[in-house]
Amino acid sequence: MDELERRLRAARPVSGNRRLPLTDRAKRELADLIIAESHNSPKRRPRWLASSRILGLAAVLVLVVSATLLWPTAGQSALAAPPPLVIEPIASNGADELDALATAAATSQQFSNVPAPGEEVTIRMQTWVMHMQEVDGDLDPALTVVSPENTVTSLRPDGSRSAVATAGIPYDAAGKVASTKVAPGTVLWTLEHGPGEYQRLFDEPAPRDSEQMGPFLSLATGVDVTQDASSAFLAVGSLLTEQKLDAVQTSALIEFLGTLPDYKVAGTATDRLDRPALVLTAVRPGDQYTDYLLLDRVSGAVLAIESVYTGDTRSDLSSPTVMSYSAWERD
């Protein structure tokens, strides 16, 4: 049983009653699948989605997901979502800004705490994914607030892995602190993998040369990310759930991002963890969703990735509506 199959089985309701709502963990795991699927045509499907065995396992949940996850029905616009980022345009050339950031990253001291190869890696991040669920025909009140999850993942040299998710501080659509039945800091779920039980997507450390970064990301994900900035952003997000990049690797990544044909430097913004960032954007095929990648203004470190509905085909969502975000904490 590989990792994705394990995740899908674990996400199913414990009782086996398919009429029960999905757990928060199930929603999160399947949100990852659906968001990844929407990035890729069948010909470019990543290898972690290509297995018919995995798709068969997912099928028992997809019918439920279609009604509860990412796709609200008409009249459910009261769902809370984080406010869109406030992006300030920059006066200088975006490509020059990115080049300068790549140069600064290469010698930044902010990466001095990155573990050396062979050492344990601890990754801290905050995530949120839009989902919705009805209770007795009405929208679950708990979903009218934004409830982030804070996850701490440890990857050890012997191949073992652990992850713990706790409830973050909830807030409403206006950004004001709200209250829910789950107190901040409450443990929501845990995962433990012994040596050899967790198969990493990225078998090797990220390259230290920008020309190797595209092939490295493409090989791991099964998608040619060199021609599609949205797919590249998604691949970077997957990488950062398994690795911490040092100064040289970060510089190489920024240089690679600058070679993509369809990205834009949108300007500067403050991310969900109140950090100043340079914002790169990429519109997905179909022109309905836009992905954001946020870089630290000083060190160039990847701070966050967001997916936003920016289209005009949905009557249930206003445009723009934030659909998900992941923000990585810095040591």
Contact 273, 126 (CB under 8 A): yes
Does 44 have pLDDT greater than 70?
no
* Predicted TM-score (pTM) of this structure: 0.77
Higher pLDDT, 236 or 9: 236
Task: Give the pLDDT band of residue 137 (cuts 50, 70, 90).
Answer: low
3-state per-residue secondary structure call for 287-314: CCEEEEEEEECCCCCEEEEEEEECCCCC
Q: The tokens of 169 are what?
A: 């501080």
Contact 289, 283 (CB under 8 A): yes
Distance of CA 302 to the CA centre of its chain: 12
Does 33 have pLDDT greater than 70?
no
Q: The tokens of 273 are what?
A: 């963890």
Higher pLDDT, 88 or 56: 88
Mapped onto helix, strand or coil, the DSSP state of residue 317 is coil
Name which of 232, 62, 272 is nearest 150 in CA terms: 272
pLDDT of residue 135: 53
The 10s digit of each residue's pLDDT in 182-229 is 899 999 999 999 998 988 999 899 999 999 999 999 999 999 999 999
Q: Collect all residues with Cβ–Cβ distance below 8 Å to 291 and sequence separation of at least 6.
A: 229, 230, 233, 234, 281, 282, 284, 305, 306, 307, 308
Residue with tokens 């998608």: 223
Task: Give the pLDDT band of residue 317 (cuts 50, 70, 90).
Answer: confident
End-to-end, the C-alpha distance of the chain in Å comes to 34
Q: Provide φ and ψ at 143, rounded to 5°.
A: -95, 5
The 10s digit of each residue's pLDDT in 263-316 is 999 999 999 999 999 999 999 999 999 999 999 999 999 999 999 999 999 887
Q: The tokens of 220 are what?
A: 């791991």
Q: The tokens of 30 are what?
A: 């399947």
Mean predicted confidence (pLDDT) in 248-260: 97
Does 139 have pLDDT greater than 60?
no
Does 46 have pLDDT greater than 60?
no
Q: Collect all residues with Cβ–Cβ distance below 8 Å to 83 and sequence separation of at least 6.
A: 173, 174, 175, 322
Extract the runs of DSSP E, i.e. beta strands, from the chain.
121-129, 134-135, 138-139, 149-155, 161-167, 187-193, 264-270, 276-283, 289-296, 302-309, 321-328
